[in-house]
Amino acid sequence: MQDVPRALGLDFGTTNSVVAIANGQQSDLVEFAGSQATGAVFRSALCFWHEEGVKGGLAHEAGPWAIAEYMEYPEDSRFLQSFKSVAASAIFESANIFEKRYRFEELGAMFLSHMVGHAGGALDQRPERIVVGRPVTYAGSRPDEALARKRYDAMFADFGVDIHYVYEPLGAAFSYASRLTQAATILVADFGGGTSDFSIVRVEAPNQTAGAAQRATPLGSAGIGIAGDRFDYRIMDHLVLPMLGKGGSYQSFGKTLEIPRSYFADFADWSRLALMRNRRTMDELTRLQKSADDPAAIGRMMTVIEKELGYPLYDAVGSLKRALSTQDKADFRFAGGGLEIETQVRRADFERWIAPDIARIEGCVDKALATAGVAPHAIDRVFLTGGSSLIPAIRDIFDARFGAERIATGGELTSIAHGLALIGQEANLAQWAA
């Protein structure tokens, strides 16, 4: 059998990142080491703080170590999460971190450097071939794909020499295809933090000479910038933001005006929420509080920003979302900075909040089928991956269209990295590259 090159697959995710290395017919996950390690899953987050003796005066960490640093000193640090979501945004030029400004590619390179450092030496000598997952459609209202590619190239410039990009759901499709024992046309749905992506692949029956990719052919893909982060914001919008002044009013020159919605839009995006703690924004909110009809609500918003409560607030939102994936109702609890919320939420309410998003996701599935030229009845298997694939309203889309007997799940956080690494070993890698 022909020798195949070692390859590294990197699923750089909006919420989590995972690395796998393939050497032969299997790929192994890279486990991270240390007291804060969470196995093979590395949180896509950064934390910054002032520290004397550090070059530039700013120290930084990534992954679960970033979370630990932030949780210990929330008011003296700056926390960034989901920064991948601005990769294709022409509006985003740089993030203001204390007195410094960082471009996306600088944040990305910093993140990768820490990830390598926490891998216990497993990533010090990386394979020559590196396959990086990318969304079918980048997050944002008007994503600029060329800009995202330019930023990704700069981010990975020092990570490897032979970098290839492959659609994330194709990585998951490849991982799943390697387990099939007969020919099939499969639809893979990958629900990440920032995007939902769909790919259709034809897999031929296995034989003794062909590898998994040699018997698999990608047929079509589609994606949409709606996923887990959007669902989190729907919960935030209905449960939390009304307590922070959303929908309220203020007085200006004898007129009653609605409190600007731009403040609350920032709560949907970690790249902006973490940066609201600056003098200009806080001065604006102080003036707004004086003229607001409910000044206490604006005070609560200021407290969330000043006390850096964004992470624990979103952590509570995520806990509720996960609970509603298995329960008909669940309790939402959050306390911090004088803000206390405790209420019961029904799954039916959550599904009503995300109904417009679900409809758009369903439309994207139709687009993927049309792009591939495949009718729903011709899909033999459906593989669901990503955390949001566990939401019953998501599962219902595929059960209704394809039948529950054709649905498979598993490896929600790791299947993409496995597949990307295996793809990296194939001679026809260009067939899969995006």
pLDDT at 270: 57
Q: What percent of the chain has pLDDT over 90?
A: 64
Q: Do 21 and 6 contact (CB within 8 A), yes or no?
A: yes
Give the pair of three-digit tokens for residue 325. Answer: 């994936």
What DSSP string runs through 303-368? Answer: HHHHTT-HHHHHHHHHHHHHHTTT-SEEEEEEEETTEEEEEEEEHHHHHHHTHHHHHHHHHHHHHH
Matching residue, tokens 């170590």 = 65
Domains, the chain, in order of start with CATH, read 7-182+410-432 (3.30.420.40), 229-345 (no CATH)
Mean pLDDT over 105-117 rounds to 97
CB neighbourhood size of 278 (10 A): 11
pLDDT at 274: 65
Cβ contacts of residue 322 below 8 Å, gap of 6+? 390
pLDDT at 271: 55
Q: What is the pLDDT of residues 230-277, one digit of tens each?
A: 999 999 999 989 989 999 999 999 999 999 998 888 787 655 666 787
Residue 375's alpha-carbon distances to 1, 201, 368, in angstroms, are 37, 13, 10
Q: Do 147 and 90 contact (CB within 8 A), yes or no?
A: yes
How high is the mean pLDDT of the chain?
90
Report the C-alpha gap between 162 and 328 in whole angstroms: 48
Report the C-alpha gap between 300 and 267 in whole angstroms: 13
Give the pair of three-digit tokens for residue 364. Answer: 């994207």
pLDDT at 277: 78
27 DSSP β-pair partners:
22
Instruction: Compute and round to an integer the Cα radius of gyration of the chain.
Output: 23
Report the C-alpha gap between 152 and 109 in whole angstroms: 9
Q: What is the pLDDT of residues 167-187, one digit of tens each?
A: 999 999 888 888 888 889 999
Q: What is the pLDDT of residues 335-361, one digit of tens each?
A: 887 778 889 999 999 999 999 999 999
pTM value?
0.84
Give the pair of three-digit tokens for residue 285. Answer: 């909110």
- Position 427 confidence tier, pLDDT thresholds 50, 70, 90: confident
In angstroms, the first-to-last Cα distance of the chain is 28
Q: Do 411 and 385 contact (CB within 8 A), yes or no?
A: yes
Mean pLDDT over 363-370 rounds to 96
- Position 1 confidence tier, pLDDT thresholds 50, 70, 90: very low
- Position 215 confidence tier, pLDDT thresholds 50, 70, 90: low
Beta strands in 140-298 (DSSP E): 162-167, 184-191, 196-203, 216-224, 249-252, 255-258
